[in-house]
Structure 1
Amino acid sequence: MSMTFFGASFDAHDAARAARFWAAALDRKVADGADEHDAVVEAGDPGNGPRLAFHKVPEAKSTKNRFHPDLITGDYEGETERLLALGATKLNEVERGGARWTTFADVEGNEFDLIAG
């Protein structure tokens, strides 16, 4: 195979603000040169996921994401509180078939899940 998943890009109202949230959430760094138009969260150590890019768009988010990140943690309650303190909003909590997860919105309204693992 000659292809690798390099990263994911997100639309944003303020790219630097969104990047700062995700960098803090994932314990990563925002790449130099971030501004309201374009910002990148660098990939972490190998195995810590892809690079994340944020790009300013003129329109506001209006519907549910067609793609969203899933995060997993062994400290579900602690990470839930940390994400809320960073500015995330809790949208929904689910317990089903022994699985537990919460859907959040980031500071730009983009949905993501935190899975108890």
Structure 2
Amino acid sequence: MALSLANITIDCDNAAELAGFYAQLFDRPVDEGATEYFATIDSAAAGPTFMFIQVPDKNPGKNVVHLDLNSPDQQAEIAKAVALGAKHLADFDEYGTKWATLADPEGNLFDIAQS
């Protein structure tokens, strides 16, 4: 029996607010019942569910696991993320790939690359 990926869980201060940010970024709905403590995005969809859980003690410093997102229109997606409350931190062109690193409204890092 092999493992399968069920959820991508993000520790946060306010689950409903951060779920709202990612729901808008991914154009997917926040599931009913979202609270400041727990929220999910489009859990009925195929693939892993994005889950947000309020924790009292997030890991300090840089997160060691982050989302790598791809888009054929990288600049439009970066602009969308910034308009939703993300911060555009840096641009990179390494290893044959161009990507931007952003921080979500709670400071969690994610990348958007040109696909």
TM-score (norm 1): 0.89
Residue 108 of structure 1 deviates from its aligned partner by: 1.1
Q: Distance in 2 between matches of 1:98 and 1:68?
A: 20
Residue 59 of structure 1 deviates from its aligned partner by: 2.8
Residue 92 of structure 1 deviates from its aligned partner by: 1.5
User: 4+ runs of 1 displaced by more than 6 Å?
Assistant: none
Amino acid at match of 2:51: A
Render the CA deviation track for 1:21-73: whole Å, top value 9, x for unaligned: 01111111111100101111124754xx5211111111355211111011000
Q: Distance in 1 between matches of 2:57 and 2:45?
A: 34
Whether contact under 8 Å (2:101, 2:112) holds in the other structure is yes
Question: Percent of counterpart pairs with the same letter?
Answer: 36
Render the CA deviation track for 1:61-110: whole Å, top value 9, x for unaligned: 52111110110000011111111101111112101243100011111110
Whether contact under 8 Å (1:44, 1:50) holds in the other structure is no
Root-mean-square deviation (CA, aligned residues, Å) is 1.6
Amino acid at match of 1:106: D
Q: Distance in 1 between matches of 2:59 and 2:73?
A: 30
Which 5+ residue runs of structure 1 have no aligned equivalent? none
Q: Distance in 1 between matches of 2:44 and 2:111?
A: 19
